Amino acid sequence: MESIAQQFSQDGEKQNFGEVQYFFQAILDDPDTTVTLALISLHSPPDNDILVESHGTVWAAKYQGRNNLIVIDAKAILSVVAMVPLPFPRGDIELDNEQPDADSEDGDYFFVAEKPGLEIFTMGGYEEMSEADDEE
């Protein structure tokens, strides 16, 4: 099952991926200013073996659920991506020298898939008029 995640950067740090649990608003320093924040469940850093084997093209990580929650400014969210289960047979690849947990499944790894087609909304161009449009 695919999940929707957000790509974000915090304080100019490296980009991370996580799943928004919910958005909320808070008054922090200035009582006249409301800030919109997001509670994010972080994905793990990318598995280095998969990243190297794929020549840097497959960013595969584990979903950590409630084990790694952070709060960020909603404006730090850079994009929406899909986290798709990474299918591979058990034992097919050794992952960062980890031993599988007793309750771990192969489906624990997800890879980042940017939503294809979203970039066309920013493409410029023009629409050709058909002969039927000219007659109206």
How many domains, the chain? 1
pLDDT, tens only, 76-116: 888 888 888 888 655 555 555 454 443 444 448 888 887 65
Domain that holds residue 107: 3-135
**29 or 131, greater pLDDT:** 29
Q: Is the pTM of this model over 0.75?
A: no
pLDDT, tens only, 12-41: 666 788 899 999 999 988 888 999 999 999
d(CA 44, CA 95): 13
d(CA 50, CA 47): 6
Task: Specify whether the CB–CB gap between 98 and 50 falls below 8 A.
Answer: no
Q: Kindly state the average pLDDT of the residues 53-67.
A: 88
pLDDT, tens only, 65-74: 899 999 999 9
**pLDDT value for 10:** 60
- Checking if the pLDDT of 134 tops 80, the result is no
Helix (H, G, I), strand (E, B) or coil at 103: coil
Task: Specify whether the CB–CB gap between 47 and 109 falls below 8 A.
Answer: yes
Looking at the chain, how many residues does it have?
136
**pLDDT value for 81:** 83
**pLDDT value for 117:** 58
**pLDDT value for 59:** 86
